[in-house]
Structures are given as structure tokens and as C-alpha cells.
Amino acid sequence: MNSSSIQSTRQSIKLSSIVFDEGLYPRVEGHDPATVQTYVRDLEQIEAAGKLISINADGVLLDGRHRMLAYKTRADGADPVVSVYQYPISSPLESFRLACELQDRGFALNTNDRQASAKRLYALGDQSQADIAKVLGVSKQTVSAWLSRTIKEERETKKKKAREMWLACATQEEIAEAVGVPQPTIKGWADDFIESPEDGLPIIPPGFEPPIYNVWKQQAKTNAVSHFGNSETRWVENLLYLYTNPAGIVVDPFGGGGSTIDACKKWSRRYHVSDRKPIVAREHEIRLHDLTTGMPSVRWKDVDLVYLDPPYWKQAEGQYSDDPTDLANMDLEQFNKELAGIINGFAKKLKDSASDKPAYIALIIQPTQWKAPERQFTDHVGDMLRAVKLPVNMRYSVPYESQQCTAQMVEWAKAAKRCLVLTREIVVWEVAR
């Protein structure tokens, strides 16, 4: 579309109703004060020659910034009525395209203006280099040279976003729609991600110390996001190191504060993280899914690890919700039945997938003591080992610091001659496929 195909109408409007949008003004260096002064002197001749201000349908200035400032200078605080040409367009792309054409009818755009305008037109959605060249009065080759870096950077940005969505287990259709490229392109990019998943990064992130023993003591929390019952990121990283491969999928249906997401991004692992009630700060990353409605939908053959950090029965009662289907709000018998059902349900999904490599299910949980009826030691790991008929790959001790216990708890332990629980345990089952 060019200006000759758009019919304008002459209008008389208040000067104050004209809107100047710097984003729709093609001149890089703005207006020239000396030219404004010349226009102040010659306004009558300019109007008589029909060289009026041009605006779009919303009153946004398309052409005539110097004339607009000249009117304002003359008005000296008043709000005069001025004659303008109004064009029946309002979209930013159409408006900027027309602004470029109208500018060239007066004081022509310089090379810097045209180059900046080419990039602006491209950013606004004018993807045809031939159309941009026509608007700016230059060759297509010139526009191609101006936009080469912009197009390359845009492609890199789109590929980076595609990779982020791919890591989060978005489908190729979802990625294609989000980044605005054809699905075959996304498929090719996904193949690249699989072949070089670390994107130039080392296989093991800098500073990571591989675990040697099965006791993982963490002196201080490394999580950026605080959340009740949040998994320690370092423990998740240990599991990624031991049980996953680059581009493998990690499933976490108890997303919590997003520790698994943080670790997977760092390690270039794909992740399918969900929760029955995602925290607000990570609603864009943690999927909404309640395990009571069934297993999540995942490419199970690509899953290396299922990581389970469920509510620890009475220890988390009422912390997440008052819903009776919340694991933390169940009685012990129902809790054991539901949690074992979840583990066995994931095992079935993994067994039934078309893969020739083993997968793993890791459960992290702490025995319940202080909040149990009569402070009775309740061994959840022992209960799960009896209920889940899978070979155990390894059990890891992940102890708390002693500061977890209050003075009241210490006095009770002394009086009752009972030891306080400071340990959590991670049990890892192996699923043959």
C-alpha cells in the first residue's frame, strides 16, 4: 500500500488533539529547531500551498512535526484550530509506512532515517523486503543489507524461545504458533536441540561436585524461590547427574516452588513440571494438573526420571489446601494407598512406553514424628518399600540441620527418651523397559 492509494479528508481540529508518537516518526534525529523558526514565519504561505499536517484516524501525527511545533510556537499557550489531512488508517504498520512516504514529499529522509525506518517497518510486521524498499525509495538489495543482522538476531531470538519451550515439553505445534515459524522449521530445530542439547555449555555445569556417597548433607539452601516443602535444588541436580541424559525428560508432578525447573534449565534437561496449585510467581512454567484426575500427558518413552516430592502427610496438613483429596489431609491408610498408587501408576506408564533404556522413579520423604498422633515415628519410606514392587537402585540420606528442631522439641525428646528425626530419604526405583 502507498499513500497515493489512500484518500485523505481535510479537517479542522484543535492543535492539542494531535498526538505525537515518537515511534511513528521516521526521523532519527528528530526535528530541526531552525526549520521550526522558518515555518513560524511562513505558516500562511505553507497553508496556502496546501502543505498541511497529516494525521491518522486516531489523530496520531504522520507528517508535519515542524509545522505542528510552528503552530504551537505562534499560539503562545493558546489552542488554535488548524487544518489537517486525515487518513482513514490506524494500525501502527500502516501509519508508519504512510509516514515514511509522506516525509519524502517534503524534506527527504536521509540514509540513517531510511535504515532505521526499514528496521522499524520489519519489526511492525512488514516482512516483504520489496515492499519496504518501495516505501523508502531504495533497492531491495539495500534493504536486505540493512536488515541482514536484524533478521539473523530475530531468528536467534525465536530459536532461543523455541528451545526454552522445547525444554518445557511444549509440542511442536505449540512452539510453532508461539514463535511464528512453520512447524517443519521447529522440527529441524528440535533435532538440533537433541544433537547438541547443551547449546555449547559443558556437560556438567561449572561448580558442580558429583556425589560420591549416599549421604547428601546440605549446609544452606540454594533455592532462589522459597516455598513450603521446597526441594533442595542441589539434591535434584545430583539426581539429574546420576539418572538422566542430555535431552531426557524429567517429570515432577509436585512442582512446589519450581526447584526442578531451575535444575533442569541449568542441566539442559527437558521437564514436565506440574502441581495441583502452582505458585503465582511460576504459573507460566508450572502446569496445572491434579494427580487425582490421572497421570499427566507426557512423551513417556523420552522420560528418564520421575521425581516425587509429595506432601509429607501430617507434616504438611493444611499447608497447601483444606481439600480432603490433598495427600497431606488424608489419614495414614489412605495416604499410603494414594502415594503407592501414584508411584505404581508412573511405573506402568514407563513400562508401557516404547523405549529400550531403563527409567527411574525417585521419592523424597521424611518420616513423620512430631506431628504424628502421640509423636509416633511413622516410616513412610518403609511403607512405600512394602507397597511398591520395583527393584531399588539406591537409597540416599538427605539430613536436615539440627536447627530444624525447636527448644520445645528438644525438651520433649529428653523427657520422653526419644530421638528426634533429622533425616529425609530419597529412594530410587529402577523401571525396566
Dist. CA 73–CA 60, nearest whole Å: 19
- pLDDT tens for the chain, residues 1 to 433: 455 578 999 999 999 999 999 888 898 888 888 889 999 999 999 999 999 999 999 999 999 999 999 999 999 889 999 999 999 999 999 999 999 988 866 678 899 999 999 999 988 988 789 999 999 999 999 999 999 998 898 899 999 999 999 999 999 999 999 998 899 999 999 888 876 655 445 568 888 999 999 999 875 555 444 444 456 889 999 999 999 998 899 999 999 889 999 999 999 899 999 998 888 888 889 999 998 889 999 999 999 999 999 988 777 666 666 787 777 788 889 999 999 999 999 999 999 998 889 999 999 998 888 787 888 888 989 999 999 999 999 999 998 766 678 889 899 999 999 988 888 899 999 999 8
| Model pTM above 0.95 | no
pLDDT of residue 224: 47
CA atoms 133, 136, 142, 143: torsion sign: negative
* Angle 259-271-301 from CA coordinates, rounded to 5°: 145
Q: How far apart are CA 99 and CA 95, in angstroms?
A: 6
pLDDT for res 324: 77
CB 13 within 8 A of CB 84: yes
Separation of alpha carbons 147 and 59, rounded Å: 30
For the chain, what are the domain ranges?
Answer: 3-138, 149-195, 233-431
Domain 233-431 homologous superfamily, CATH: Vaccinia Virus protein VP39 (3.40.50.150)
Which pLDDT value is given to residue 227? 43
